[in-house]
Amino acid sequence: DVKVTQSSRYLVKRTGEKVFLECVQDMDHENMFWYRQDPGLGLRLIYFSYDVKMKEKGDIPEGYSVSREKKERFSLILESASTNQTSMYLCASWGEGASYNSPLHFGNGTRLTVT
C-alpha cells in the first residue's frame, strides 16, 4: 500500500528559528507536494517537485524553501519561522505513469506552532 510519512506530527518552534519538515514516500513517485491547511482556506500549495533537484513555486511560496536531494524525500524549510506560519502542513505524492485523474497520496500532516 502507498505510504507517505511525515516525520513529526507536532512541532513547536520559536520565532526566527530555522525549521525543517520532512516527508518520505515509498512509491517511487516523481511528483511531491507541500500544502498548508488553514481553517476556512482549505489547502494551498506551497511548493512542488517533479524530479530530484527540481522544484516549482506554488501559490504561497513566500517564507519557504524546499529540498529534494533524493527521489523519496521532500523537505520543506522555513528559513526564519514566523507566527503566521503556524499551520497544518501536508505532504503529498503522485506518480508518473498515473493518469491526470489519479489521486494524490497524503501524509498525516505536521501541526506546526510558532511562538
Partner 1 sequence: GNSVTQMEGPVTLSEEAFLTINCTYTATGYPSLFWYVQYPGEGLQLLLKATKADDKGSNKGFEATYRKETTSFHLEKGSVQVSDSAVYFCALSKGSSNTGKLIFGQGTTLQVKP
**Contact residue for partner 1 among 81, 90, 112, 114 (CB under 8 A):** 90
Residue 84 vs residues 46, 80, 88, 102: alpha-carbon distances, Å: 14, 11, 12, 33
Nearest to 24 by CA among 53, 54, 46, 2: 2
| Alpha carbons within 13 A on the beta-carbon side of 50 | 5
Write down the least CB distance from residue 94 to partner 1, Å: 3
Q: Does 34 bind partner 1 (CB under 8 A)?
A: no
Residue 57, Cβ density class (10 Å: 0-12 exposed, 13-18 middle, ≥19 buried): middle
Cβ proximity to partner 1: between 79 and 90 the closer is 90
Cβ proximity to partner 1: between 7 and 37 the closer is 37
Q: Does 41 bind partner 1 (CB under 8 A)?
A: yes
**Contact residue for partner 1 among 27, 60, 77, 104 (CB under 8 A):** 104
What is the pattern of x (binds partner 1, CB under 8 A) and - over residues 43-82? xxx--x-x--------------------------------
Which residues have a Cβ under 8 Å from the Cβ of 90 and sit 6 or more positions away? 6, 34, 35, 36, 37, 43, 106, 107, 109
Q: Where does this chain bind partner 1 (CB under 8 A)?
A: 4, 31, 33, 35, 37, 39-45, 48, 50, 90, 92, 94, 98-104, 106-109
